[in-house]
Structure 1
Amino acid sequence: MQAIQLQTESIVEIATFLVRRWAEKEKMIVEISDKVETRTRLNENKVIITPLEKRIGNDFQKYRQFRTSLWYEAMRVKFCKKILSNDHAFGFILNTLETQRVERLGREIWKGMDDEIIFNYTYMLVARPQLHSVYGKARIVEAFYQYFMFGAIKGEIQSSQFEQIKKASAFANKIVNKAIDENHDTEWLEGNVSEIIKILDIDSLLTIPVSLPFMKAGMALSEEELLKVLKIVSKNKEGDFGSIDPASIMKGENVLDEYKVLLDENKKTENKGLNPEAIGVQTPSTKNVDETVIYDMSLINGLKMKFKEWKTGWKEQHLRAGDEFDEENYIEGNEPFFTDVKKSIKTKIVILLDHSSSIASDAIEYKKATLALCEVLSYLKVKFAVYAFSTENRAVVCWSVKPDNVKWNSITAKRLAQIVANGSTPLAEVYDKMFPILQSKRPDIFLTLTDGEPSDPDAVRLMTKSFKGLGINMVSLGLGPNTVRATTIANNLKHLGYEKTMAVSRLKDIPSKVISILDV
């Protein structure tokens, strides 16, 4: 399988999509971290997962493990009422029972996951520690986990302890089966954990050492060794999964096409990343950001309906002469004929979003409106780019939200969501940072959305003139809390050399105002 370094943004995007799809919860976010073990924080709607590079195997095998780990966490989101810490025996055992419960419930819904679960079990078993390396009472807990999850243990243990483990495992299977058969939830299982604690003869607050799902650097696993472990797991899991073909599972054909698409998209993103961006223009991080808070689906769908005829490329237009006679229009005294007119948008536009401090109080609504604009521009297949500016650590930063050669998607939405409105309006400095980009791209329109007057009007006037010298149509949109203030801002912007200025007092009007300036 091809060796390639998948970009974090690509992984975060597909991970977020999969978790939301599997958990059926649209507000879930995914954070990739090599600092902690994979875990889910239900109260934060967040899944934290170990990155691919920390896992064992080739790139495809790592992706399969990563994907299955995501599935388990999504099932926890869907079926668990609580998730305790794995640091102590009680929480560790409850979470282990819940892993089995949510797996079985999840398999009823996602029947195609069986091969991937078995494949993942193989690597889970490989990654577990040898029992001789675990000290004290924690050894018996580790042995219970291995026997309950895999039907096998790694290493040796005293015969009396092994009997305890088998008894605890049998009880654990019994209560998991009962929980599923009688539709019990997390809290019911939690009430039975003390019995397992008693059988194992341990303290419920016993500290459990962390066992991360990866091996130390340099430790490899050959195909032959992997297949050997896979056969052991397959044999032990036949009672739950039925007949299993280890050779077929090794191939991973159910996931291969998905992985190839991810590689292709990653390659495209890498190639686009080679295009030179101006020094001083940064790309916002997309880690740990919930972009759903800035989606106003009512506004987006309403705009799509409003501009639907632009999408189809044809508009019915009434004229004095045309293709067909409209009797009702004639009776009403309007133009009696109508004809279909071909419409297309060829305008290339670059949009700059003011994120100075004055935006902060309305930041969410502002982002909702600008995101809706981007959604509609994407829907209409307009070629556009989006930038923003704010102040970070006392320095103005120009953010690249969406370059013109990248599609509008959840990653670009995350970038917009994470920009914090802060600082003044040093528009000339921002224009200076963007000048090399626009000089190279030469868009038809450069649109600036701002709610204040720039701190350096003379310098802005000079930069505006420079842009116009490139053949770029300079347009500004003044935002104000009311019509009077918005109009005042727009009038002031006129004196800075913009060829067209507009005013908006209602943020939801931004998309329609912007689309109105596109040549059709």
Structure 2
Amino acid sequence: MAATKIAISIMRNDVLLEIATFLARRWSGNNRVAIILMPDKVPTAKPDKNQITLPLLNYYPGTDFQKYRQWRVALWYESTRMKHSTKVLSYEHAFGFLLNTLETKRIEILGLREWEGMGSELVFNEGISWMSRQLLNSIYGRYKIAEAFSQYFLTGYLKGELFGGEFDKVKRATDYANEIIRGAIDNNYSTEWVEQHIPKLIKILELDPLVSIPVLAPRTRVGASLNQSDLLKQVEKVVRMRHKKENMEEKTKEIYEGHDVLREFETLVKESKKTENKGYESLEDFGLSVPEKMDVDETQIYDIDLIRKVKAAFRDWKTGWVERHDETGDEFDVESYIEALPKNFLSDFRLSIKTKVAILLDHSSSIADVELEYKQATIALCEGLHYLGIKFAVYAFSTDKRQVKCWVIKPPNIKWSVVSARRLVQIRASGGTPLAEVYGLLEPVLKSFKPDILVTLTDGEPSDFDSVRTMVLTYRKMGIRMVAIGVGRNVNDSVGIGHNLKYLNYEKAISVSRLQDIPKKVIKLLRS
């Protein structure tokens, strides 16, 4: 797969990631929830890590819209699980399978109290997921009993037949499980209380707690195609069980078509098509790349305290006005007069930053020791620029498989979002500092963007000093203000880096030993 091709379905993965992050945080009430998209991965919440793992859309059967609806319901379940469960065990063994199954019903009941509008989507999901449920006649042994219990407990009916005393066993276990759920909800008990009852449930079902439970993707069980007529009948069956109404046909049609979610889906597809090339046009022609894998969680590079401090420092710039002392003004300041200060009047001063900014991040191996703090400072800087409404682009360079890579983190015409942060965290510091080569790769892109300033964060030791000097002058002739910020591990290191940068023809070169100072340094550069 080419580095620029990060979508493999009708909806781009970065668009999926953005809507999933928004919905998960809203449904869970947790603004720190991070989403990880992984092919063919069972939807799983990790409450202790504020993390939800989801598969891609092609994990599910049906049309593109039906796939999205199933994926969205899975996201709702895991977000609700994030809010109401304290632990989630592996589905691959009977104990975890049973605990998670009971928790699914508990969190569904609690979740619907808050999100009643999800009711129709859950009915549709039950109907379509039933199509991919395993036929009990086709499986054997203890797994059959576990699957039968899951079907009967969650839906009230079975797909296939049970023989001998199997049904009585499943019925008794279901009755007991329902008692547990009622007790947990009535008394506001948590996952730990439910977990205490799993050993008895295992005993009723006569299972080994460590027996393996195969986990299969729904599409592998139902096949590549899905009979829409059969699906409609199954949805109608669920509607009849869940809704005791006369207008069954109308209700079934409404749930099957899902018009409320359809508008959301169409908007996301349109956004996917709109951004499919926007910001990434002909990247390979320029030698630029986009991180191909997106499986590293970006929450580790979000320093919330630092971001809050950066935004607080520039609140005046956000409002556009600041009050300052002057020799004349709209208001006389008595205190400054008493203190014999030279400027005793207050006047409102309009602030504005209309600069376009490009940022280049050195990810050579010399950054490795401070990589986390370096990325945290970068995120805070980008959040600050976004907060101020400044148009900016972010690039980074490193060495990947002995080849210099210039990565596009955020193109100038795409808004800053969690997707850009996710791209940044994928990049690992490695290799040397071929700064001149990277400037060469970026030249055609920045000629098009025409930033007012290019800020390079670097270790100050490029592979070829002469070539860097030449490229810096080339950029300056294009009307781009060239600024470098040296990143040092300590004061002595930053002094040495600052000394190196002075000889590279930058219009301004500064160095820092405290990485958290980087955002403020950059914003100050924009004022001057």
Relative to the length of structure 2, the TM-score reads: 0.88
Task: Look up the equivalent residue of 2:525 and give its one-letter code.
Answer: I
- 1:356 is aligned to 2:375: no
Indicate the SS of the match to 2:276.
helix
Does the CA contact (< 8 Å) of 1:348 and 1:443 recur in 2? yes
For residues 512 and 429 of structure 1, do their structure 2 counterparts lie closer, same or farther at Cα, with a shift above 3 Å needed? same
Match of 2:70? Answer: 65
| 2:322 corresponding residue in structure 1 | 315
Identify which of 353, 358, 369 aligns with 2:377. Answer: 369
SS of residue matched to 1:453: coil
CA 130–323 in structure 1, closer or farther in 2 if over 3 Å, else same: same
Measure the CA separation in 2 of the matches of 1:72 and 1:208: 21
Query: Residue 517 and residue 131 in structure 1: after superposition, are their counterparts in 2 closer, same or farther (change >3 A)?
Result: same
Out of 484, 488, 502, the position equivalent to 1:480 is 488
Instruction: Give 1:182's match in structure 2, choosing from 184, 187, 200.
Output: 187
Q: Which stretch of structure 1 is more off in the superposition, 340-349 or 453-462?
A: 340-349
- 1:461 equivalent to 2:466? Answer no
The answer to whether residue 436 in structure 2 is matched with residue 428 in structure 1 is yes
Residue 169 of structure 2, aligned match among 164, 171, 184: 164
Matching residue's letter, 1:408: W
**Are residue 104 (structure 1) and residue 109 (structure 2) matched?**
yes
Deviation of the 1:42 alpha carbon:
5.0
The 2-side partners of 1:367 and 1:126 are apart by: 46
- Would the aligned equivalents of 1:360 and 1:422 in 2 still touch at CA under 8 Å? yes
Deviation at residue 222 of structure 1 after TM alignment = 4.8
2:410 is matched with which residue? Answer: 402
1:53–1:357 CA distance, 2 compared to 1 (3 A): same
Give distance in 2, aligned partners of 1:145 and 1:301: 46
Instruction: In structure 2, list runs of 5 or more residues that go unmatched.
Output: 1-7
How far apart are 1:482 and its partner, in Å? 4.2
- Return 181-190 or 213-222, whichever deviates more: 213-222
The alpha-carbon deviation at position 513 of structure 1 amounts to 1.5
Matched, 1:56 2:72: no
Question: Does 1:284 pair with 2:307?
Answer: no
What is aligned with 2:148? 143
1:248 is aligned to: 254
1:16-165 map, 5 Å: 16-42=21-47, 44-158=49-163, 160-165=165-170
Cα distance per residue 1:488-511 (max 9 Å; x no partner)? 422321221112222323222212
1:499 aligns with 2:507: yes
Contact 1:54/1:214, CA 8 A, preserved across alignment: yes
Q: Is the 8 A contact 1:151 1:236 kept in 2?
A: no
Specify the alignment match of 1:335 in structure 2.
Answer: 343
In the alignment, is the contact (CA less than 8 A) between 2:40 and 2:217 conserved in 1? no
- Give the Cα–Cα distance (whole angstroms) in 2 for the partners of residues 5 and 203 of structure 1: 43
Do the aligned partners of residues 323 and 271 (structure 1) sit closer, same or farther apart at CA in structure 2, a change above 3 Å counting?
A: farther
User: Quick check: 2:38–2:295 contact (8 Å CA) kept in 1?
Assistant: no
Q: Distance in 1 between matches of 2:420 and 2:235?
A: 40
Structure 1 residues 218 and 273, CA gap change in structure 2 (3 angstroms) = farther
Give the Å deviation of 1:229. 1.0
Give how far 1:221 is off. 3.6
TM-superposed CA distance for 1:37, in Å, is 2.8
The alpha carbon displacement at 1:484 in A equals 4.8
Cα distance between partner residues in 1 of 2:156 and 2:287: 57
Paired residues of 2:362 and 2:456 also in contact (CA < 8 A) = yes
Cα distance in structure 2, aligned partners of 1:318 and 1:190: 65
In structure 2, which of residues 6, 19, 24 is the aligned counterpart of residue 14 of structure 1?
19
- The match for 1:269 is 275
- Give the unaligned 5+ runs of structure 1: none
Number of the residue aligned with 1:235: 240
Q: Aligned AA for 1:492?
A: N
Alpha-carbon distance, 1:328 to partner: 4.2
Post-superposition Cα deviations, 1:219-271, rounded to whole Å, max 9, x if no partner, equal: 444554333211212233359xxx99433323434434443443343233224
**Equivalent pair of 1:318/1:338 in contact (CA under 8 Å):** yes
Paired with 2:362 and 2:212, the residues of 1 have a C-alpha distance of 51
Residue identity in the other structure for 1:405? N
Tell me, in whole angstroms, the C-alpha distance in 2 between the residues paired with 1:305 and 1:384: 20
Residue identity opposite 1:266 in structure 2: S
- Provide the C-alpha distance between the structure 2 equivalents of 1:488 and 1:287, rounded to a whole number of angstroms: 36
- Residue 439 of structure 1, aligned match among 439, 443, 447: 447
Residue 13 to residue 462, structure 1, CA distance change in 2 (3 Å): same
- Partners of 1:80 and 1:185 within 8 A in 2: yes
8 Å CA contact 2:61, 2:225 repeated in 1: yes
Look up the SS of the partner of 2:406 in the other structure: strand
TM-score computed with the length of structure 1 as normaliser: 0.89
Percent identity between the two aligned chains: 47
Q: Which digits, 9 at most, give the CA deviation of each residue in 1:20-61, with x for residues without a partner?
A: 333344444333233443334455544332321231233232
Equivalent pairs, count = 515
Q: C-alpha separation between the residues in 2 aligned to 1:168 and 1:297? A: 46
Higher mean C-alpha displacement, 243-252 vs 504-513: 243-252
State the Cα deviation string for residues 380-428 of structure 1 (Å, max 9, x = none): 1111111112222233221111111111111111222232222222211
Equivalent residues of 1:494, 1:501 under 8 A apart: yes
Counterpart code for 2:440: D
User: Matches of 1:510 and 1:35 in 2, distance apart?
Assistant: 40
CA displacement at 1:6 relative to structure 2: 0.7
- Once the 2 structures are TM-superposed, how far is the Cα of residue 218 of structure 1 from its aligned partner? 6.1
1:183-222 equivalences under 5 Å are 183-215=188-220, 219-222=224-227
One-letter amino acid matched to 1:280: G
Does the CA contact (< 8 Å) of 2:151 and 2:157 recur in 1?
Answer: yes
**Alignment CA distance shift 1:200-1:448 (3 Å):** closer
Which whole-Å CA distance do the structure 2 matches of 1:298 and 1:194 have between them? 44
Structure 1 position 471 matched with structure 2 position 479: yes
Is the CA contact (8 Å cut-off) linking 1:286 and 1:411 kept in structure 2? no
Aligned residue in 1 for 2:516 = 508
Aligned partners of 1:34, 1:43: CA distance in 2, in Å? Answer: 23
Give the conservation status (yes or no) of the 8 Å contact 1:27–1:290: no
Matches of 2:142 and 2:221, distance apart in 1: 24
Task: Give the drift of 1:457.
Answer: 0.3
Q: Take 1:7 and 1:299, find their aligned partners in 2: how far apart are those partners?
A: 31
Which residue among 385, 399, 403 is the counterpart of 1:391? 399
RMSD, aligned α-carbons? 2.9
Further displaced range: 275-284 or 58-67 = 275-284
